[in-house]
Amino acid sequence: MQQLGDIVDAGIDYLSMTMPNDNPHIISWRSGATAYLHEIAATGIEITESRRLGYYGQSVGGSFVGERERDTIAVYSGERAKAAFPRLYRPDVHVSRLDVQVSFRYDVSTANVAEIARAQVKQSNRTISSARHRNATLIEDLRGGATCYIGTRKSEQFARIYNKDAESGDKRYENVWRYEVQLKNKYASKLAEQFTSNTYSPPMHATVFVKQWLKHRGVSTPWMAMAELLPLPTITKQPTQLEEKLMWLQTIVRPSIRVLLKYGLRDAILEALGLDDLD
């Protein structure tokens, strides 16, 4: 298969990490996070005192380091997130959010990438049960921009595919579309752990992960990558109390009721369950 253009950028695009203040490494970790914040400020961006999400600290553009009673947070975006990850990630930090992106320049101007992605998610939903259907939303504006959102912002996994050219207004991104996946909490921590495995370089790992994640939802991507060699971050779902009760009914109660029904004891069953007053 011939590639339709070239990858112009790939890697981590947003990073949010927290560490408990009783962690024995908190002082050195916090110092490293703050030191990098001041390096960013040294490029000519003003550093300000600010408060985010109950944390009080310092901000430089989209980056922030702050503290509260029980923990410390460090947030970086864009190229700064990419640089901060190898400096600050440790197995004992909690990664609350991790965004990974691939920016792809098409050989020719392409306006319907987001629309096609939405249609592909819709087509993929036809092959799975309704309970597993994924939502995909298409948003267009009058400047020629378009974005396909896959999932919901409140969920632990979410993606956006958008026209980077129209979004940025920067000529450097002419004909560039960005494919971006956002993970939170346990999913983010698992992906961060994978990024330290040294299986691939961070940019290569990003291209593989984003391609796999979207492919799993029916969306094709224009670049070529070894897309089946890394497991997607997964979380073993624990059954809720309601699910456990339903499972108990199915596995324990139902067989007994079937036996009793064979003996014509339907009314006795309803009475025993307190359901004899139902029509």
Res. 132: pLDDT tops 90: no
Establish if 232 belongs to a structural domain. Answer: no
Residue 163 near residue 147 (C-beta atoms within 8 A)? yes
C-alpha distances in Å from residue 147, one per residue of 117, 135, 178, 262: 9, 14, 10, 58
> Distance between CA atoms of 107 and 175, rounded to whole angstroms?
8
Over residues 209-255, the pLDDT tens digits come to 999 999 999 999 999 876 555 667 766 555 566 766 777 777 777 78
Establish if 278 belongs to a structural domain. Answer: no
Res. 187: pLDDT tops 70: yes
Choice among 51-60, 195-204, 243-252 with the minimum mean pLDDT:
243-252
Q: Are residues 162 and 72 in the same domain?
A: yes
Residues in the chain: 279
Q: 32: buried, middle or exposed (CB in 10 Å: 19+, 13-18, 0-12)?
A: middle
Q: Give the DSSP H/E element, type plus range, for residue 56.
A: strand 55-60
Provide, rounded to the nearest whole percent, the portion of the chain with pLDDT above 70.
89
Q: Are residues 163 and 255 in the same domain?
A: no
Q: Are residues 132 and 210 in the same domain?
A: yes
Choice among 103-107, 250-254, 273-277 with the minimum mean pLDDT:
273-277
Res. 55: pLDDT tops 80: yes
**Quick one: pLDDT at residue 229?**
58
Residue 276 corresponds to which amino acid?
Answer: D
| Phi-psi group of 11: left, alpha or beta (phi > 0 → left; psi -120 to 50 → alpha; rest → beta) | left
Q: Are residues 245 and 189 in the same domain?
A: no
Q: Are residues 27 and 74 in the same domain?
A: yes
Q: Which two tokens stand for residue 213?
A: 């994640």
> Distance between CA atoms of 212 and 197, rounded to whole angstroms?
17
Q: Are residues 138 and 40 in the same domain?
A: yes
Q: Are residues 194 and 249 in the same domain?
A: no
Query: What are the phi and psi torsion angles at 32 (to 5°)?
Result: -65, -40
Res. 2: pLDDT tops 80: no
Residue 269 near residue 260 (C-beta atoms within 8 A)? yes
Res. 278: pLDDT tops 70: no
Q: Which domain holds residue 98?
A: 5-215
Choice among 3-12, 59-68, 119-128, 197-206 with the minimum mean pLDDT:
197-206
Q: Are residues 56 and 159 in the same domain?
A: yes
Q: Which residue has the tokens 């224009």?
A: 222
Q: Can you tell me whether residue 37 is helix, strand or coil?
A: helix
Q: Are residues 104 and 170 in the same domain?
A: yes
Establish if 77 belongs to a structural domain. Answer: yes
Quick one: pLDDT band at residue 33, thresholds 50, 70, 90?
very high
**Quick one: pLDDT at residue 236?**
56
**Quick one: pLDDT at residue 200?**
81
Establish if 23 belongs to a structural domain. Answer: yes
First to last CA, the chain: 63
**Quick one: pLDDT at residue 274?**
72
Number of domains in the chain: 2
Give the residue with greater pLDDT, 166 vs 113.
Answer: 113
> Distance between CA atoms of 34 and 30, rounded to whole angstroms?
6
